[in-house]
Structure 1
């Protein structure tokens, strides 16, 4: 019996820390973030698109989801087919929601901003819009990787147009490779949402301030079938309330 208990203890110690994600949520492929788990942050959310066709938003909120970023548009002519349903569902469940745009490097930024504005309603209480900028090597129509100066100029055009329309400065989402290759962190007056599913943001984005951390693409959330992206707000609950009060659409 003692030998069996010892073996069980060794197996438990070999597992990634159980507190990598908050209680109520899970991860099908957890990562050990070396003593700095996402669970140390009290505010968590998800981002969704057409790949999550069925979401029980009320159940997700009860499990601990505080916010959701919902894919709205891509390029200058694609509207995510689940956007309207997700937008309504999150709103009915009283989950704070924002919409994001996936940037397409073969279309002028101004065209893309106008497309986003055409499809995303200016809604009281909405979180700031998000510009998702990352390389897309799997695109069937555009795998261009413009120089960083071009990327930053296009981003500025999009951010400025969206801010004028919604009265909120958009958040910018990015990935480690894109961040390094384009110097997108040089943009002024911009809040960042960073993806880092293998390292903590301080290691993946040295010296870069951030507001949101996408820490898993294999999250398990009650009310959602299959894996979903998990995110944390980089502050306390009090800081979250202050940020929301300052950044919500009035």
Structure 2
């Protein structure tokens, strides 16, 4: 707990400094409309009607090997407050950039977590064991994430019934949650959420919605994170990047971290 306390105090200081910076220095200052964070952009921006993501105070990214070399100091300076990194897929695949990104985000003092792309041809227990084998249990990490979406895999075209998907996903979440001390977040897409009635699963949600506020395609569903574009532009990253918003204010973000960081 003493080590965790020191880490958390340091992280809170970083967040406080970042929040106090002016846009010219690379920090985040909320403003109405698309200019909420002047250093972030979108190569194919959506014309948001009403409740778009730009008024949200806390933004982050999710990345995989396809982002290539990343200048994480520039990423943090641009106002990015968190990163989710692809770690594993199924029960035998890992992202070759995961370990490097994991070290580099820690060095840049960006809160980060790992996500697992769920595979329908392996059991939840097998996939949990593989994830645990690849992802360190590290104090100060964000909760693990299970990515639940339909795939176009040629090696596994199987689409199980909803009850089987939720049962195996719950097994994964129970095992992984016990190991890391934090129940995993569920990432999902509109069609997968609807087809499998995921709203009755016990978890925080990270929802993909690139054309509407999540309240439209996911009526009544509470969420912690919103993936609002796959064509984001972030200083320090070449090419398009997924951009995400946290559901609350900066103060809410600090409280969420205090409750959900791995101890």
Q: Give the TM-score of the pair, scaled to structure 1.
A: 0.91
Distance 1:143 1:178 in 2: 15
2:174 to 160, 166, 182: 160
Q: Does 1:191 align with 2:204?
A: yes
Q: 1:160 to 1:20 in 2, by over 3 A?
A: farther
CA contact (8 A) 1:191 1:211 kept: yes
CA contact (8 A) 2:33 2:54 kept: no
Partner SS, residue 127 of structure 2: helix
Distance 2:256 2:157 in 1: 36
* CA drift at 1:36: 1.2
Q: Does 1:203 align with 2:216?
A: yes
Partner SS, residue 194 of structure 1: strand
Distance 1:183 1:143 in 2: 20
**Where in structure 2 are the equivalents of 1:72-151 lying within 5 Å?**
72-137=87-152, 139-151=153-165
* Structure 2: 5+ residue stretches without partners: 1-31
- Number of aligned residues: 232
Distance 1:134 1:21 in 2: 30
Partner SS, residue 156 of structure 2: coil
Residue aligning to 2:195: 181
Residue aligning to 1:223: 236
CA contact (8 A) 2:209 2:226 kept: yes
Compare CA radii of gyration and give the structure with the larger one: 1
CA contact (8 A) 1:20 1:38 kept: no
* CA drift at 1:22: 2.3
Question: What are the superposed Cα offsets for residues 91-115 of structure 1, whole Å, 9 maximum, x if unpaired?
Answer: 1100000000000000111000000
Distance 1:20 1:37 in 2: 12
Residue aligning to 2:20: none
4+ runs deviating over 3 angstroms = none
Partner SS, residue 71 of structure 1: strand
2:69 to 39, 54, 61: 54
* CA drift at 1:20: 6.4
Residue aligning to 1:43: 58
CA contact (8 A) 1:21 1:37 kept: no
Distance 2:48 2:123 in 1: 38
Question: What are the superposed Cα offsets for residues 47-77 of structure 1, whole Å, 9 maximum, x if unpaired?
Answer: 0001111110000000010000000000000
Distance 2:47 2:247 in 1: 18
CA contact (8 A) 1:77 1:115 kept: yes
Partner SS, residue 181 of structure 1: helix
Distance 1:33 1:22 in 2: 15
Partner SS, residue 58 of structure 1: helix
* CA drift at 1:140: 2.1
